Amino acid sequence: MTAPAARLAEPEARGLTAAEEALWLLQQLAPDRGVTNVAMAVEAAVQLRWWPLNATFEWLVDRHPALRCRFSTVDGRPVRTLVPADELDVSVDVIDGTDRLEERLREYAGRPFDLTSGRPVRLGWFRGGAGRDVFCLVAHHVVIDALSLRVLLAEFNASYPAFADAGEPPPLPEPARAARVTPSADSLRYWRADLAGIDPAGTRLDPAREPAQPATFAADEVEWVYPLTLSAQVADLRARSRSTDAAVLLAGYLVALHSVGMSDDALVGVMASTRSAARASSVGYHVATLPLRIKIDPDRPFVELASTVAARLIAGMEHADVPFEALASELVQGREDPLWWRAGLFRHLFNYRVAAEPQRSPSGRREVRDIHTGLCRFDIELTLEQLDGAFRARLLYSTEVHERTFAAALLERVESVIAQAHAAPALPLRDLDVRTRAEIDLLERVNRTQMRWAGPQTVPELVETAGRDTPDAVALVDGDRQVAYRELCQAAQGVRQALDRLGVRAGDVVALAGRRAPELAAAALGVWWAGAAYLPLDPEHPPSRLREQLADAGVGVVLDGQLLPEGCLDGLDATAVPVQWTTAAQEGAAAPAPSDPDALAYLIYTSGSTGRPKGVRITHRNLANVVRHFTAWLPAGPETTMLWLTTSPSTSRRWSCGFP
């Protein structure tokens, strides 16, 4: 028998805080998953022994009342009842072998607890032998927090050798007991005023998927060690903003989230300890998640944001007696978001852990780490801690909502934001480049479009060459009608001569209003051979829009203008000319002169969905580049048929008709 641990008196039964009740309720809604379990694993350098290990665990459970609580309901509300230590069967779970260790640790950590059993904690001993023993401490979050796990590990380190050597526990001081925090009326007023009008939907990120129904809580993690240069940058920004490391890192996290879809009215949950300094060694659930609301102004520099975050953190800590769970039900008016019931006000969590003394196993090795359960309540949970001078990030993300690549990129964005803010402290947030290295490389590859193609450098020259080299090859098919390159080029020469007679000169813009047919293709080619550019028009478009485009482009000739709505040309200095298809030899017609690659090929107007339509100028070099690119990419050749599917003013029409 071991000596009983010193115990403080505890009420036999009591109700739960809002935060505890939310954790309890989540367990009821997902009883087959340890969604809110917390776990830590320790790798020992020597082989452990069962009796001292079990005695240590039994003694710790007896010593800390939070580890032996039973949860039940009274009049429909959950209550906590202290279970005497002698009524519990407290024993270590012995698991042979350490093969597939990480997978087995995750599975062990993710097993759900029966909160009615009175044992919301367990210890697993993975026996590896030859100095490869690992033990894993798991508890339900409703009775413990991350700092409490550290306290337990420190006491474990002191008690295991004592039990192993003398069979008795060490003479540790009586455990601290944190007072229960009761929400004050002042804090409730503060948070209600602060969060008034908040729209939780604004926290949803652009890449977020709709979660599965029913929720699986499936999650994964990304671990990241930032370079030491980031620590120096954070220290400099901390001094400039007169804030803290936590405020600078949280500001970087907010900017990263904002860059991928979070609204300017940002909201994140921030973990905060409710312990007093005198109760730092207390074991239990002594944290509150603060709903931190920050207005992100893209015109302000990063240091101002960090300063604002610091002030908001201080104000939030002064009112930390109200957890967000006490506010969620009254502030979340809509229930459209399928995650509201499990996440409440926000989707993203931030936790900054103050660096502590390195934890070591009972054998002296420093192999102590958090164990991810494979489950996550929020979309993203970011934990940052500075160890050995470097910031270490642990990002949990819901695999129902996000991809791993997105999660890793988010950590890179945080680093990039802080590095740029350090390099240019006065730079507005909107001017920060929040792209990842992979995104920048991808855009550079995609935009690396300038090429030197062999042969003709413009589409008119490509068609003219095809007409000369393969005059009898089919160029266009319109129903049962087939048009050879020879016919197309002859018809285009007829259009060119007609335009010459009308006084069209190089650099002019000629409008095309014909239907999709060989005549329209010949008209476009004739315009180019006349040295002009064309403006495509769709007669089905509103007359007011057509008039605006004709006037803005300074059009003097409209081919097939008779097809436009009545009155379109009234008041404009423009002539409507019907296109006549002819393949008769044009006497005195000179061969087309090569087009200037940098001359205007056509003018096309935007749809106007974001304002007044704007004319976009496309050069012959632009058009030839995209046509040649698609010809090589598809690949396409003389035997390829391209469907002319879109209306005349469509951009895709240009390259679909441009394949020789």
Q: What is the pLDDT of residues 351-361, one digit of tens each?
A: 998 765 545 54
What's the rounded Cα separation, in Å, for the pair 371 and 98?
15
328 pLDDT above the threshold of 80: no
Q: Residue 30 contacts by C-beta under 8 Å, 6 or more apart in sequence? A: 112, 215, 217
Which residue from 291, 423, 280, 276 is spatially nearest to 344, judged by alpha carbons?
Answer: 291
For the stretch 540-546, contacts whose Cβ atoms lie closer than 8 Å and that sit 24 or more positions apart, written own/partner, are: 540/647, 541/649, 543/567, 543/568, 545/608, 545/613
Q: Is residue 124 very low, low, confident or very high in pLDDT (cuts 50, 70, 90)?
A: very high
Backbone angles phi, psi at 419, to 5 degrees: -65, -45
Q: Is residue 656 very low, low, confident or very high in pLDDT (cuts 50, 70, 90)?
A: very low
Say which range, 25-29, 114-118, 565-569, 593-597, has the weakest mean pLDDT: 593-597
Q: How many CB atoms lie within 10 A of CB 69?
A: 24
What's the rounded Cα separation, in Å, for the pair 262 and 36?
25
Higher pLDDT, 609 or 102: 102
Which residue from 377, 349, 398 is spatially nearest to 208, judged by alpha carbons?
Answer: 398
What's the rounded Cα separation, in Å, for the pair 64 and 144?
11
658 pLDDT above the threshold of 60: no
Q: What is the pLDDT of residues 126-155, one digit of tens each?
A: 988 666 789 999 999 999 998 899 899 889
What's the rounded Cα separation, in Å, for the pair 313 and 270?
9
For the ranges 167-176, 194-203, 295-304, 630-639, the maximum mean pLDDT occurs at 295-304
What's the rounded Cα separation, in Å, for the pair 408 and 486?
58
Return the pLDDT at 400. 92
426 pLDDT above the threshold of 90: yes
- CA atoms 171, 173, 174, 176: torsion sign: negative
Say which range, 165-179, 335-349, 519-533, 572-586, has the weakest mean pLDDT: 335-349
> What structural domains does the chain harbor?
1-175 (3.30.559.10), 213-356+371-446 (3.30.559.30), 459-656 (3.40.50.12780)
Mean pLDDT computed over 435-440:
91
Q: What is the pLDDT of residues 446-494, one digit of tens each?
A: 887 777 778 888 999 999 998 899 999 999 999 899 999 999 999 999 9
Q: What is the DSSP letter of 595?
A: P
Higher pLDDT, 519 or 588: 519
Burial 411-450 (b: 16+ CB within 10 A, else e): bbbbbbbbebbbeeeeeebeebebbbeeeeeeeeeeeeee
Q: Is residue 114 very low, low, confident or very high in pLDDT (cuts 50, 70, 90)?
A: very high
Q: What is the pLDDT of residues 169-209, one digit of tens each?
A: 999 988 887 777 788 999 999 999 999 888 888 888 999 98
Which residue from 352, 414, 407, 356 is spatially nearest to 383, judged by alpha carbons?
Answer: 352
159 pLDDT above the threshold of 80: yes
Give the pair of three-digit tokens for residue 250: 């949280």
Q: Residue 507 contacts by C-beta under 8 Å, 6 or more apart in sequence? A: 531, 532, 533, 599, 600
What's the rounded Cα separation, in Å, for the pair 68 and 117?
9
590 pLDDT above the threshold of 90: no
Mean pLDDT computed over 40-45:
86
Q: Residue 497 contacts by C-beta under 8 Å, 6 or more apart in sequence? A: 586, 589
Q: What is the pLDDT of residues 521-565, one digit of tens each?
A: 999 999 999 999 999 999 998 898 899 999 999 999 999 989 999
Return the pLDDT at 532. 95
For the stretch 179-183, contacts whose Cβ atoms lie closer than 8 Å and that sit 24 or more positions apart, written own/partner, are: 179/279, 180/14, 180/17, 181/17, 181/274, 181/286, 181/288, 181/320, 181/321, 182/321, 183/18, 183/321, 183/322, 183/326
Concatenating the DSSP letter of every residue in 181-195 gives: P---HHHHHHHHHHT
Paired with 350 in beta bridges are 270, 382
Give the angle 302-303-306 at the CA atoms, nearest 5°: 90
Backbone angles phi, psi at 143, to 5 degrees: -115, -5
What's the rounded Cα separation, in Å, for the pair 211 and 217?
9
User: Hey, is 240 helix, strand or coil?
Assistant: helix
Q: Is residue 91 very low, low, confident or very high in pLDDT (cuts 50, 70, 90)?
A: very high
Say which range, 71-80, 187-196, 212-221, has the weakest mean pLDDT: 212-221
Tell me the average pLDDT of the chain: 87
Say which range, 158-162, 288-292, 343-347, 573-577, has the weakest mean pLDDT: 343-347
Paired with 591 in beta bridges are none
Return the pLDDT at 85. 83
Q: Residue 555 contacts by C-beta under 8 Å, 6 or more apart in sequence? A: 509, 510, 511, 535, 572, 574
What's the rounded Cα separation, in Å, for the pair 160 and 495?
97
What's the rounded Cα separation, in Å, for the pair 233 and 231?
5
Return the pLDDT at 659. 44
301 pLDDT above the threshold of 90: yes
Distance of CA 482 to the CA centre of its chain: 52
Concatenating the DSSP letter of every residue in 294-334 gives: EE--TTSBHHHHHHHHHHHHHHHHHTTTS-THHHHHHH---
What's the rounded Cα separation, in Å, for the pair 116 and 93?
19
Paired with 631 in beta bridges are none
